[in-house]
A and B are shown apart, each in its own frame.
Chain A
Amino acid sequence: SAVISQKPSRDICQRGTSLTIQCQVDSQVTMMFWYRQQPGQSLTLIATANQGSEATYESGFVIDKFPISRPNLTFSTLTVSNMSPEDSSIYLCSAERRVGGTDTQYFGPGTRLTVL
């Protein structure tokens, strides 16, 4: 498995501000991703963090709202911009490793965001 850390683990933010979440993997991985999980719901993929190029966003998510950086193969950041209460959620990063011939995702502990 991969050891993945995220910070902050939680934050309470004011409407209109931005928060940057950091994700660190214990070794180099090709693929890193950012997900959102709202209370009582399953995970929704926000984007794939590409090293050396712009992130690939899923439908409904845009770079202006969720800018992502991936400066190297072990680190990525997600910024939640101009926050509103609807952005309150858990944000999870994941890294993919090949295990037994199957690409498998491992998750960081998540960042619990509350927007007032």
Chain B
Amino acid sequence: RKEVEQDPGPFNVPEGATVAFNCTYSNSASQSFFWYRQDCRKEPKLLMSVYSSGNEDGRFTAQLNRASQYISLLIRDSKLSDSATYLCVVNNSEYSSASKIIFGSGTRLSIRP
């Protein structure tokens, strides 16, 4: 079983739709969680951190369920510019250590006009 699993997609939805991605992780001791966005032929960019209480940034809502070990990302009123690959990232280290940061394989999202 992969340490971080995501549905690879692609998700193809119309503009204005609401779309949700889930990500599951295997290590119950995981410390911190993130969603990154990666556009084609570009570097990953931090979209948002995911906090235990859930957090929202504009049209984007991230939630964490520690009991079930999954993270979700909800995008409301999707825009054409939301088309990208969304990477779920889990940090298993209590201390700063990149070797404990695990990237999911990404979920591709395509918004159609």
A contact residues vs B (CB 8 Å cutoff):
1, 30-31, 33, 41-43, 45, 48, 56, 58, 92, 94, 96, 99-100, 102-110, 112
> Quick one: which of B29-60 are within 8 Å of A by CB?
32, 34, 41-46, 49
**Are B103 and A31 in contact, CB atoms less than 8 angstroms apart?**
no
A-chain residues with CB within 8 Å of residue B91 when the two chains form the complex: 103
Q: How far is the CA of A36 from the CA of B41 in the complex (A)?
A: 13
Chain A residue with the shortest CB-CB distance to B104 = A42
- Per-position binary interface string of chain B over residues 73-99, scored 1 when its CB falls under 8 Å from any chain A CB and 0 otherwise: 000000000000001000100001111
Q: Are A96 and B43 in contact (CB under 8 A)?
A: no
Contact A1 B96 (CB under 8 A): no
Tell me the count of chain B residues lying within 8 A, CB to CB, of chain A.
20
Chain B contact residues, CB within 8 Å of chain A: 32, 34, 41-46, 49, 87, 91, 96-99, 101, 103-106
| Residue on A nearest B95 in the bound complex, by CB | A103
Q: Give min CB distance, A25 to chain B, whole Å.
A: 14
Q: State the Cβ distance, A20 to closest chain B Cβ, in Å.
A: 19
Contact A96–B98 (Cβ < 8 Å): yes
* A-B interface, 7 closest residue pairs, ranked by CB to CB distance from nearest: A107-B43, A33-B98, A42-B103, A42-B105, A43-B103, A103-B96, A110-B43
